[in-house]
Structure 1
Amino acid sequence: MTTSRPGVTIVPIHGKTPTIHDSAFVAPGCVLIGDVTIGADSSIWYNCVLRADVSRIVIGERSNVQDGSVLHCDPERPGDPDGSPLLIGDDVLIGHMAMIHGCTIEDRGFVGLGAIAMNKAVIGSDAMLAAGAMLTEGKAMAARELWGGRPARKMRDLDDAAIAGMRAGVAHYVENGKAHAAALDGASRA
């Protein structure tokens, strides 16, 4: 695990420093603050903000957070001793400009472009929150469901073709992260 990357702003706070697996790609322009953990082969794309100054953000393996997304969490409060950490499993896709706050995204979950997921919401395994949708506080999506709208509601179950498409997206982002890391490394040597 590393705690520095060229062009990435890494801010330790309250005794916590972001940790990034050596195989993960974090693009220049990103800001990582506090208790952030990024797993193997995951990718955080250009101009994302991951601010874990009051709780923690955990991102599993092979997950990606696409350009311009904002991730945050909430601290413990009276009546809520656990607070709202942001927990992202393995093989998760988070689309561009998403706002993800204090929720749980289970393995292979998908968050569409510009979608919002709020505190204590759950996106189940192989489930998809549609582009532009808003999953309100405490709502839980079961496995293989598609939810959309503002506020988000279940639209239908996902078929095998949709699940296969999401898995192909995960594989693409792992390889694309490696390509961007190599391109940036080459540019810095030129």
Structure 2
Amino acid sequence: MIDSTAFIARAAIVLGDVHLGRFASLWYNAVVRGDTERIVVGNETNIQDLSMVHADPGFPCLIGNRVTVGHRVILHGCTVEDDCLIGMGSILLNGVRVGRGSVVGAGAVLIEGTVVPPGSLVVGIPGRIVREVDEPMRERIDRTWRHYVALAETHRLGRFPTYSVTDGQAVSGRDLERTEGTGS
């Protein structure tokens, strides 16, 4: 089930048993493939460009509310609880569980069965807990998911900035459509 408020960018792929919550967003070239097991993306969660969400039989992929999944992340048969930030290029494998309010640093790899306690910062290959999430990080988690909820609405309405190939000036997506081919 895909909530009517969810944003799915052009070129994103969603198939199979996939549930997208209220104001969830799937960005350009993200793939959410529920062909072997259920995938749930919670309310106000964003799956950013080039990310892959998949699962194996017996290992559904469950992503909580207000989660940010950075660019080029792989989530495979794992659980990410509410209010987490999964950094760009991270890989989370089958059976991983990331506790509420945690941050997985960019490029980290969480091997099968890893359990991250709530409020932890995890980095490295294989991922290891280095400390607790502090207040500035909690604020960043909150600020980021809120930004993506607003940004999704902007993209839905076609009001995101684009750049003209000919002169490099920023124009709205609608203005660019009007001026293409006119030389102005």
Residue in 2 that maps onto 1:25: 7
Instruction: Please identify the structure whose Cα radius of gyration is greater.
Output: 2
Alignment of 1:36-185 (within 5 A): 36-75=18-57, 83-183=58-158
Task: Give the fraction of aligned pairs with identical amino acids, expressed as a percent.
Answer: 38
Residue in 2 that maps onto 1:8: none
Please give the root-mean-square deviation of Cα atoms over the aligned residues, in Å. 1.5
Q: CA deviation at 1:161?
A: 1.4
Letter in 2 for 1:45: W
Distance in 1, matches of 2:6 and 2:70, equals 17
Distance in 2, matches of 1:23 and 1:129, equals 27
Q: How many residue pairs were aligned?
A: 164
Distance in 2, matches of 1:38 and 1:135, equals 24
Gaps of 5+ in 1: 1-18, 76-82
Distance in 1, matches of 2:120 and 2:128, equals 10
Letter in 2 for 1:158: V
Q: Deviation digits for residues 93-145 of structure 1, max 9, x if unmatched? A: 00000000000000011110000000010111110110000011100111110
Letter in 1 for 2:20: I
Q: 1:74 is paired with a residue of what secondary structure?
A: coil
Letter in 1 for 2:28: Y
Q: Following TM superposition, where does structure 1 have runs of at least 4 consecutive aligned residues deviating by more than 6 angstroms?
A: none
Distance in 2, matches of 1:23 and 1:52, equals 20
Q: CA deviation at 1:160?
A: 1.2
